[in-house]
């Protein structure tokens, strides 16, 4: 409802300032001071709203549940060449042996080429796997990995090694 009073008053002040030069020279400093006071009041109100005297403190979020990489077991891992020669589809089953629900983990895979037992490292890739696995259960997962190598270095006898890192769990799920 305040705007019903402020709007006609503002229009009248603008009209008078445009029409009369003496009024304008008086109005500009008064409006500047009024705006400065208004901004100061708004800032003080904003600061006072965050004080704890005004109510109970907000609830602190629950810390992330502890879940170790050793609690996660990967089984039935398959690596299939994808459409691109350097891209591979990884499928497997993740088992959560902890008491905490798993939300995600990172898998780091190393690709080696091992013809006749002599291994040459091709490269590593890490993928984030978003899979929710309740405590003590297993779920299938799928992700994609990309390895950089020249076309003439394509692996003829690929050897895969992998590990789990950066696991994240959630209590009560």
Q: What is the CATH number of the domain that holds 75?
A: 2.60.40.1620
Say yes or no to pLDDT of 63 above 70.
Answer: no
117: left (phi over 0), alpha (psi -120 to 50) or beta: left
Say yes or no to pLDDT of 53 above 80.
Answer: no
Say whether both 88 and 133 belong to one domain: yes
User: What integer pLDDT is reported at residue 173 of this predicted model?
Assistant: 46
Mean pLDDT of the chain: 82
Say whether both 129 and 160 belong to one domain: yes
Q: Per the domain annotation, does 41 fall within a domain?
A: yes
User: What integer pLDDT is reported at residue 58 of this predicted model?
Assistant: 59
**Sequence-distant (≥ 6) Cβ neighbours of residue 86 within 8 angstroms:** 146, 147, 148, 149
Say whether both 50 and 81 belong to one domain: no
User: What integer pLDDT is reported at residue 171 of this predicted model?
Assistant: 62
Full-model pTM = 0.57
Say whether both 91 and 143 belong to one domain: yes
User: What integer pLDDT is reported at residue 68 of this predicted model?
Assistant: 86
Distance CA 49, CA 25 (A): 37
8 A C-beta contact, residue 102 and residue 94: yes
Q: Per the domain annotation, does 59 fall within a domain?
A: no
* Count: domains in the chain: 2
Say whether both 17 and 49 belong to one domain: yes
Query: Domain of 25?
Result: 2-54
Say whether both 98 and 136 belong to one domain: yes
The strand pairing partners of 146, in sequence order, are 87
| 99-to-25, 75, 140, 141 alpha-carbon distances in Å | 75, 19, 19, 20
Give per-residue pLDDT as tens, 4-39. Answer: 777 787 788 778 888 887 877 877 887 788 788 888
Say whether both 73 and 6 belong to one domain: no
- Count CB-CB contacts under 10 A for residue 29: 9
Q: Per the domain annotation, does 127 fall within a domain?
A: yes
């Amino acid at each position: 409802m305040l705007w019903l009073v402020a709007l006609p008053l503002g229009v009248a002040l603008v009209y008078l300032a445009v029409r009369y030069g003496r009024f304008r020279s008086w109005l500009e400093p008064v409006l500047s001071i009024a705006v400065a006071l208004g901004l100061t009041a708004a800032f003080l109100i904003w600061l006072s709203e965050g004080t704890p005297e005004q109510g109970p403190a907000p609830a602190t979020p629950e810390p992330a549940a502890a879940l170790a990489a050793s609690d996660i077991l990967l089984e039935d891992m398959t690596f299939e060449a994808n459409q691109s020669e350097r891209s591979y589809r990884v499928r497997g089953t993740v088992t959560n042996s902890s008491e905490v629900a798993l939300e995600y983990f990172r898998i780091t895979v190393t690709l080696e080429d091992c013809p006749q037992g002599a291994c040459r490292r091709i490269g590593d890739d890490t993928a984030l796997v978003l899979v929710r696995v309740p405590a003590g259960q297993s779920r299938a997962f799928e992700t994609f990995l990309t390895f950089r190598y020249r076309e003439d270095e394509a692996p003829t006898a690929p050897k895969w090694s992998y590990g789990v890192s950066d696991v994240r769990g959630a209590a009560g799920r």
